[in-house]
Chain A
Amino acid sequence: MSKTNQIIKDIMSASPMRVFLSVVLGFVIGSIFMAVFNEDVVASYEYFFSAPGYTFQIAFQTIWDGYAALFKGAIFNFEATDSVDMFRPITETLRLSAPLIMAGLGVALGFRVGLFNVGGTGQLVMGLLGATWVSTRMELPYGLHMVVALIVAVVLSGLTGGLVGFLKAKTGAHEVIVTIMMNYIAVDLFTYFLRTPSLLLETDGPGNPKSDAPALTAQFPRLLGEEFKINIGILLAIAAAVVYWWLMERSTIGYRFRMVGFNANAAKASGINVNRTYVWAMAASAAFIGLAAANQGLGETSGLTSSIHANIGFDAITVALLGGSKARGVVIAGLVFGAFKAGSATMQITGVSPEVLGIIEALIVLFIAAPPLIRAIFRLPSPKEQ
């Protein structure tokens, strides 16, 4: 084989190239969905045989409009007239990325220890319950109030996760079942709290299950003034990622977590209490998710309903998978998914259902998780073949 060929092969089988191709392919397939089911495109089908060019023109226009709207909504609004509107999209992306990064780190930690934490929703909701109680029912000075609420959220989420680990360790109950069941229980419990006047129900509302707005003393401070909703959540998320990196890659605790994840038997023979490790790992995983809970509960200026968990617990699984359970990967994945969330409203306006982003998300992760698949599609060489 010639040397040039070898070099091309090396580049093509390298991982950044694969990620890039996965993203491109995800967007291409998303485009097909956008075009095929668009009303205008559908309307043009009847002229397809007389003027196929017309159909393609409309289809292309639809795709272009869709992605332009995504860009305008998530990165930079080039059609805006003042600078606030221009830059708001990117700040929204950052704001919406924060909880995804935090929770994504939590799920990622579980993966590294060989635990599949499907319980993000339940752990998040328990944290929210605590944060909301502190932020609406307690009176504390500015700053301290927020810190206390944040700590309560992290601790409550952590305890919920720790309970899962405890049940797994003590009884051998599978963490997937336990977390799924606890998701439902936690959401029901939260709804009950929101419904009950003596607990979290808003003070003068019509009685729908909804809490008061968090006290001003407990809300996350905004970063760029009142015109932008972005708050310190994104900074906390970055800090969390740094802590995660240190914990998993540099500390002996993370080393033992990884050891248990790879080979629990060898860990036992090396003097590690595997059951205790499960408890701590689940608690740590949930604690990161608790941070996302605080972000959801204290980043709002209005009252909360039970839908405030916003499915972050499940999105976090995809974020962790896309990020390969590594700190940097999770941050990048969180930003991408945050951008999708930020851009979906603008897409809606142009007549493209933002749900297409869900498809693109899933496809990208699928292609990244399945290297052989992307290689098969693009006929790339396998790295093993020489």
Chain B
Amino acid sequence: MAKTKVTPGMFSQVEVAPSWKTPIVYAFFSLLVTFVFGVTGPSGDVSFELASKTDFVQLPNFVISASALNVGLGIVMMLIAAVSAALTFMKKKTPQWLSLVLGLLGATGLLGWLASGNTVPVAFIFGSAVVLAVPIILGALGGLMSERVGVVNIGIEGQLLTGAFMAAVVGTITHNLWIGLIAAMVAAAILSMALASLAITYLVDQIIIGVLINVLVIGVTNFLYSQWLADAGEEVNFPGTFDIVAIPVLSQIPIIGPAMFTTRITVYLTYILVPLVWFVLFRTKLGLRARAVGEHPTAADTVGINVGRTRFWWVTIGGAIAGLGGAALTIGNVGAFGREMSGGLGFIALAVVILGRWQPFYVSAAALLFGFAIILRVWANSVNPGIPTDFITMVPYLVTLVAVAGFAGKVRPPAASGQPYIKG
């Protein structure tokens, strides 16, 4: 019997190095920080408040000239760009976590630039970014679970809105936020079941159903809001929020403690769900089967995996998670339902799924970027920076555009994403 030597790749020489896009995008951002924020930026002192007066560990404020800070950060970023260039030159891929580090440095620079002459409450901004990112993370997690099994979910917006509405109304009526939370998850899951069965059983175009779910939920919640909630707000739309719970020990870590471990249950649930979804997806039998269904449904069918059922349940559970994200908007943050309060977060979640390459941790990081952007807009208005706030608001969207066009461009979705599975 002849032995076939198994080599990776039929023709093992790899011809083309990874694309130069990544180092170029890195260099672009480093130069932006160094020159626009740094050299030509304001030189006033910026003071980073590392601990508030009530914190367990007291740290002095970190004060530095805004332009010096940005030049410094810019140089570090340039070094990272150089590392990436060197890796590309050696035909190696730049690891994705470098993008995260670069993003973090860039965000710090932006804060310093905006807050020249002011104080930056680091823990407050970080903590708020996390809270605001939670609905996006959970919505994106739901979308990711759905796309991993091959069902495109444009209806995240509708699921978030459903969750937000149910959590507020049921939470108020029953005087129990936990029941509200469960109602939000169940309602969004039922909505997902509708999406799943229309897509799987009735083979309706998945994008169309998603769009319609959004329109329908916006219609229904708007109608109920004006016909019912607006008049009877006290009785049906006054749920309050979950209490803020400090986790022992962890909450005493400087910066991270007050930002991440002194917060609400909805955020803690997110901390659990992100690694959990990752684990199930990549380390268990259920996840292996789910990914098989999303990549090659016929192959999955031939080994006895029920494609329809797998898709149905993943989409449904994803919907429940998105519903939890909706609940985080009302009973996890604001405390009441407002008209169309998801305000496009579902669409951002959609972008985040792609930006995060269908990987739970990267998706969460991308969602954090948007959480950061939202709080930045709120906070920037109060420090009255030198440039119009409209441009600050634009930053995350511009960054996403550059990122999508720059390095996440030709990402590969699950192969069967969007395609119905039709058996003979």
A residues in contact (CB < 8 Å) with B: 33, 37-39, 116, 118, 167, 170-174, 176-178, 180-182, 184-185, 188-189, 191-192, 195-196, 314, 317-318, 321, 352-353, 355-363, 365-366, 369-370, 372-373, 376
Contacts and interface: CB of A to CB of B under 8 A. Distances in A.
A181 B219 contact: no
B406 to A, nearest CB: 7
B54 to A, nearest CB: 36
B347 A180 contact: yes
B219 A184 contact: no
B204 A180 contact: no
A318 B400 contact: no
A180 B348 contact: yes
Interface stretch (B109-117, B120-128, B132-140, B390-398): B390-398
Nearest to A363: B216
B247 interface: no
Contacts of A176: 350-351
B205 A177 contact: no
Contacts of B222: 353, 355, 358
B212 A174 contact: no
A317 B350 contact: no
Most buried by A among B224, B390, B398: B390
B71 to A, nearest CB: 28
Contact of A369 (B204, B228, B405): B204
Give the interface residue-count category, chain B: 35 or more
A358 B394 contact: no
Contacts, number: 136
Contact of A373 (B198, B207, B215, B224): B198
Interface string B395-424: 001101100111011100000000000000
A188 B396 CA distance: 12
Nearest to B21: A171
Given A33-B220, A321-B212, 5 more contacts: A171-B405, A173-B409, A181-B351, A317-B211, A362-B216
11 contacts: A167-B404, A172-B410, A180-B347, A181-B401, A188-B390, A188-B391, A188-B393, A188-B397, A362-B219, A369-B204, A369-B205
A38 B228 CA distance: 8
A177 B406 contact: no
Given A184-B344, A184-B394, A173 B404 contact: yes
A370 B216 CA distance: 15
Given A176-B350, A188-B394, A369-B204, A318 B404 contact: no
Contacts of A372: 201-204
B390 A189 contact: yes
B227 A353 contact: yes
Nearest to B220: A359
A170 B393 CA distance: 26
Contacts of B409: 171-173
B85 interface: no
Contact of B388 (A38, A180, A195, A352): A195
B202 A37 contact: no
B351 A180 contact: yes
